[in-house]
Amino acid sequence: MARRWPPRRRTNGCLEAEWLWLSGRASSGVQFLTPAPHSQKLRLLQVREQERDIALQIREDVKHRRNQQFTRLAEELRAEWEESQTQKIKNLEKLYLASLKNMGEGHRQAKENEPDLDGLARQAAERKKKAEMRHKEALKIQKNKKEMLTKQKTWHIKARKAALLVEKERSAKITSLQPPPPTLFEVNYFEC
């Protein structure tokens, strides 16, 4: 009989049942009894219990690791927040000290740069003159526009009046002339 490979382990850790053929007892007629169904059932229950315990342990490990990560993240975030708060406080302190140094600077600058009242009065007078000039120019422009509009509205009336005057002059001129001599065809033969 050919030799077989040594027995392999199954995924659950038990040896395969091939050892019977290795020893040669199976060929000699000796038969092994299979385990009783009751012991198989107990073994299955034991394996299930072990699997449950292993799964529970894995879940607890995962939960523990997750909690550790959350606490580490919370600590990191708190440290960042505290650092940003201290930085903000330092910046605000710097601004406060700078504003304390500059206190009264506005009054000093105001005293140094007191307004020239005479200069301001001259500027106001110049602005008033310029405003009056602009006002006069605007009135002239407005008057010219008004005249142009009235001319545009009444040009046909004036043209008609001018044409009537020309016609009156022409008719007066023609009426003041002597009548023309009668033509040969107009001679009245009955008068003779």
Q: What average pLDDT does range 55-78 have in this prediction?
A: 96
Letter for the amino acid at 57? Q
pLDDT of residue 106: 78
pLDDT of residue 67: 96
Helix (H, G, I), strand (E, B) or coil at 9: strand
Q: What average pLDDT does range 56-77 have in this prediction?
A: 96
Average pLDDT over the chain, rounded to an integer:
83
At residue 18, does pLDDT exceed 90? no
pLDDT of residue 100: 85
13: region left, alpha or beta (phi > 0 left; psi from -120 to 50 alpha): left
Cα–Cα distance for residue pair 129/171, rounded to 1 Å: 59
Task: Provide the terminal-to-terminal Cα distance of the chain, rounded to the nearest Å.
Answer: 184
Cα–Cα distance for residue pair 81/76, rounded to 1 Å: 9
Domain boundaries, the chain: 51-110, 129-171
pLDDT in tens, 72-116: 999 999 999 999 999 999 999 999 998 888 888 877 887 777 777
